[in-house]
Amino acid sequence: NAGVTQTPKFQVLKTGQSMTLQCAQDMNHEYMSWYRQDPGMGLRLIHYSVGAGITDQGEVPNGYNVSRSTTEDFPLRLLSAAPSQTSVYFCASSYEDSTEKLFFGSGTQLSVL
């Protein structure tokens, strides 16, 4: 049972480049979300999805796009990377809309130069 899988683990981008952070879960979870973790600021919610075809914004959505075409996958897209997006990104999922049953991936460390 792989749980929540994030790729890549590390990435370096130049300002203005685009990329997609991948997140996949094999637990048939309806709810998925993306957080970013910055030093001294804890984790902040970027976007979330309550099921295939449904997404919504979290606390810090600017500069990020998401889509949810399947239950398993929830990619996070940076269309034009900025240094302010240097962070560690975590994907999370749960079977139902309950914070008590969230599973987190191991994270993607992104640096934007």
Partner 1 sequence: GNSVTQMEGPVTLSEEAFLTINCTYTATGYPSLFWYVQYPGEGLQLLLKATKADDKGSNKGFEATYRKETTSFHLEKGSVQVSDSAVYFCALSTGANSKLTFGKGITLSVRP
- Provide the minimum distance between the beta carbon of 13 and partner 1 in the complex, in angstroms, as a whole number: 22
Question: Between residues 29 and 85, which has the closer beta carbon with respect to partner 1?
Answer: 29
26/56 with CB nearer partner 1: 56
Considering beta carbons, is residue 17 or 30 the nearer one to partner 1?
A: 30
- Residue nearer to partner 1 on the CB measure, 10 or 15: 10
* Binding footprint of partner 1 on the chain (CB under 8 A): 4, 31, 33, 35, 37, 40-45, 48, 50, 56, 58, 90, 92, 94, 97-100, 102, 104-107
- The CB-of-94 to partner 1 minimum distance in angstroms stands at 6
**Could you write out the DSSP letters of every residue in the chain?**
---EEEE-SEEEE-TT--EEEEEEESS--SEEEEEEEETTTEEEEEEEEEETTEEEE-SS-TTEEE--SSSSB--EEESS--GGG-EEEEEEEESSS-GGG-EE---EEEEE-
In angstroms, give the least distance from the CB of 42 to partner 1: 4
CB atoms within 10 A of CB 92: 22
